[in-house]
Amino acid sequence: MKYLRSPTELTSFNVYLSNVSLQWTICVKYLGVLIDNRLDWSSHVQLIKRKLYASNMLFVAIYVLLRWLNLGSFIVTYNIALFQGYSQ
């Protein structure tokens, strides 16, 4: 096992698989989980946090929009317009 003193040493370290040099990367996605070069979960946790924040903001926007439209009166108006022709 080779221990590295600094990240710059890692660029000179080559790994071959079937006579093909593998490219060094900071983070790789494997089975849907992001694993970085330090075997740390921080990159995966950051990705999940961003996705949850985005979906949460979507629900907040829908909630604000529905409160602004006053959904109850919107449904009543829609039903009156829809079924008005059937009552005659």
Report which of 34, 14, 32 is spatially closest to residue 24, judged by C-alpha positions: 14
Q: Is the pTM of this model over 0.75?
A: no
Helix (H/G/I), strand (E/B), else coil: 6: coil
Which pLDDT does position 1 carry in this prediction? 47
CB 15 within 8 A of CB 21: yes
Residue type, 68: W
Hey, how many other C-beta atoms are within 10 angstroms of the C-beta on 37?
A: 13
Render pLDDT for 6-64 as a digit per residue (tens, 0 to 9): 555 555 677 888 888 888 788 888 898 888 888 888 888 888 998 888 888 888 887 77
How far apart CA 47 and CA 56 sit, in angstroms, is 14
Query: Which strand (E) or helix (H) includes residue 33?
Result: strand 33-36
